[in-house]
Structure formats: structure tokens, C-alpha cells
Amino acid sequence: MRSHGGDYLSAVAGSEIVAKGDPSTGLALERRPRTDFPTYIGPATHLAEERARLTTLTWEHFDARMLGATIGAELTGIDLTVELPQAAIDAIAAALAAYKVVFFRGQPFTPERHVAFARRFGDLEVHPFIPPNTEQPELVRFEKGADVTGYENQWHHDVTWRECPSRATVLRAVQVPEVGGDTLFADMHAAYDVLAPETKAELDGLDVVHDFVQAFGRNVPEDRMADMREQYPEMVHPAVCTHEVTGRPYLYLNRTFVDRFAGWTREESCELLDRLCRMADTPEYQCRFHWEQDSVAFWDNRAVQHLACSDYWPEVRIMERASVVGERPRR
């Protein structure tokens, strides 16, 4: 046996070890695009300031445990099933603006209580293309099982085909599988912030055409399509919007509802659209929530995109959603 550890390892491995340090030594301390694939690699150092800010936050009406670097927190010590004082509602709204999505466990809402809680944050919308809870038309009901499977496993903001898309969403788990069916959320502020200056310049002033037909057209009876198209025409929103509360820019496009960039053809749009939509795939910008019965997620539909994992078939997953009407997205 050789006495020098390095010589011994080289002999065992059958090759010379030339490494002097971690392979990342000397590389730039920033996330950067690859030249051969439409992806980014490297440390997400641009998250550090926001992550540090969030770790200093304290709350009077609940405790918060962060789930991701800049997105997601589980709030404990508060009961949403009772009528809360306005100060507590204001604190939840502030936490939502900070963490972008907040989670609660053990909240056995009735449908009426679900709607009442959501309505504390604004008027609620009624979805024209998804059946509601039979008692409350403001509650969209997603009921999956062996015969109805999940197709929400694509990153998206909700109802971007509306002139005034949802500002926020309150989603409750009615029945969930023990394994699978998680929901992921992605910080679209972080996704925009990392873009190269030339990409940001390309997006400056660029608008996007959103259309309900891509996702819901097959659910509309043929004799009603003209009426629905009149009520919900193609809608144009900026590709990059400014958040009405925080003033921060965020990416506002998705594969589910976006047809093309305004003034471009579908074919001309696909490469850039795909490249930008891939930003939500980045784990560093995400948090993931595992549902239990009566868990609640409350997210900012502008600041985040979400994806519901469809990995539980043929198990049953039933969710109900109330959505708060927002303002028209602005540049």
C-alpha cells in the first residue's frame, strides 16, 4: 500500500486525479444561459437579497415557515374557519404579497365558509368553462379519478384569457390521494430577473395574445361557440407586467392559454414562447406543496405560475377553488 493518500486513490481508480478543487471554482457567481440548450445553469445568486428579506419577516397573527428560497410559506396558528378580524386579513394579504403563495393545514371549510373567506380579499369570479360546486357557483370544482384524469400539469397562470384575470386564488383539498397530486408553484419575478439584458430588451413592449379556446374550446357546444367568442374574445396582455402591489416586473405568459405574440404568427412565436415558458421549470424558483385533506393554498395569480402533478391515477383527487377578480395586467 502506498503511503500517500492521493497516490493510493489514483492507483485504486486506475487513473490520475488532477482536480485541485470543486469543478465550479473560478466560474462566475451568477446564473447564465447555456449556449447549446435553451436553459440556464449556475447559482441563483439573484435570489439572495429577496431570500434574506423574507427570512426577517415576523407576523402578529400567525407564524410562517418558508418552503422555497423566494416563494411559499406555510402559515400556522390561525383558524380560517371563523370570521377573522380585519387586522388578521390584512396580515394574510401582506404575507401573500411577500411569499407569493401561502399554505394552511387543517382548515375544514364548508363551501359557504370557503367563499366567505375568499371574498374578504375582493369580488369573486364565476368560471364559464368548469363546473362549480353545486351549492356555490363561485367555487370551481376539480374532481379527478379513474375516468377523469388531470391535465393541469402544465405551468400556467389561471384565466389569462380574461380582460381582468384572477388576482388571487384560494384552493382547498376536499379529497386527496395519500401519495401524489402535489402542486408546484414558480416565482415569475425570479424568472424575469434572471433574463439576459438582450432578452429583456426583446420583451420590452411585446404583447401576448391569450385565448380560452386552447384549453376549453372542446368543452363549448358548437352552437354556443359564437356567443362565448363574443363574450371572451382573444385578449392581449403584456409579456412582462408590473405587479400592482409590489411594483416588481414578472413574466406573464404560458403555454396553456397563449396563442402567439401580438403581430407575430403562431409559428414565429413558438421558439421564444417556449424559451420563456421554460423559466418556470427552474427548481430554484419553485416550492412544492403536498396536500392533505382540508389543506388550503392561497396564491397570487400574477406573481406565480402553478402546476398540478398528475401522478395519482386512478386515485381520487377533489379540489375546490375560489378566485378573486383582479385588474387588467399593465406594463
What is the residue extent of each domain of the chain?
A: 40-325
- For 172-225, the pLDDT digits (tens) are 999 999 999 999 999 999 999 999 999 999 999 999 999 999 889 888 999 999
Instruction: Round the average pLDDT of the chain to a whole number and report it.
Output: 92
Q: What local confidence, expressed as pLDDT, does residue 5 receive?
A: 53
Q: How many CA atoms lie within 13 A of 283 on its CB side?
A: 3
* Integer Cα distance of 283 and 268 in angstroms: 28
- For 255-270, the pLDDT digits (tens) are 999 999 999 999 999 9
What are the catalytic residues?
156, 158, 306, 321
Residue 155, C-alpha cell as written in the block: 405551468
- For 242-258, the pLDDT digits (tens) are 999 999 999 999 999 99
Please give the residue that has the higher pLDDT: either 5 or 220: 220
Tell me the pTM: 0.91
* Integer Cα distance of 36 and 45 in angstroms: 22
Q: What local confidence, expressed as pLDDT, does residue 1 receive?
A: 46
Indicate the range of 52-61, 107-116, 214-223, 271-280 predicted with least confidence: 214-223
Where does 104-166 have alpha helices with state H?
A: 111-119
166 touches 159 (CB < 8 A): yes
Task: Say which residue the cell 401522478 belongs to.
Answer: 311
Q: Indicate whether 133 pLDDT > 70.
A: yes
Identify the CA nearest to 272 among candidates 40, 38, 41, 42: 38
- For 66-109, the pLDDT digits (tens) are 999 999 999 999 999 999 999 999 999 999 999 999 999 999 99
* Integer Cα distance of 181 and 103 in angstroms: 16
Q: What local confidence, expressed as pLDDT, does residue 219 receive?
A: 84
Element (H, E) at 230: helix 225-231
Beta strand 73-76 pairing with 101-104: parallel
Q: What local confidence, expressed as pLDDT, does residue 241 receive?
A: 97
Residue 132, C-alpha cell as written in the block: 362549480
Q: Indicate whether 3 pLDDT > 60.
A: no
Cis peptide before 314 (omega within 30 of 0): yes
* Integer Cα distance of 165 and 301 in angstroms: 8
Please give the residue that has the higher pLDDT: either 150 or 66: 66
Across the chain, how many H-helices and E-strands are there?
A: 9, 17
Q: CA geometry: angle at 50 spanning 303 and 31, to 5°?
A: 90
The number of angstroms, rounded, from the C-alpha of 300 to the middle of its chain's C-alpha atoms is 8
Secondary structure E strands in the chain: 32-33, 40-41, 63-66, 73-76, 101-104, 140-144, 166-175, 183-187, 207-210, 235-238, 240-242, 249-251, 258-261, 286-289, 296-300, 304-308, 317-325
Task: Give percent of the chain above pLDDT 70.
Answer: 94
108 touches 294 (CB < 8 A): yes
Q: Indicate whether 30 pLDDT > 80.
A: no
* Integer Cα distance of 45 and 281 in angstroms: 17
Beta strand 166-175 pairing with 317-325: antiparallel
* Integer Cα distance of 10 and 264 in angstroms: 58
Identify the CA nearest to 246 among candidates 306, 207, 190: 190
The number of angstroms, rounded, from the C-alpha of 286 to the middle of its chain's C-alpha atoms is 8
Q: Indicate whether 13 pLDDT > 70.
A: no
Q: Indicate whether 10 pLDDT > 60.
A: no
* Integer Cα distance of 209 and 239 in angstroms: 9
163 touches 328 (CB < 8 A): yes
Adjacent-strand bridge partners of 186: 286, 305
CATH number of 40-325: 3.60.130.10
Task: Give percent of the chain above pLDDT 90.
Answer: 81
Residues 6+ apart with CB under 8 A from 83: 116
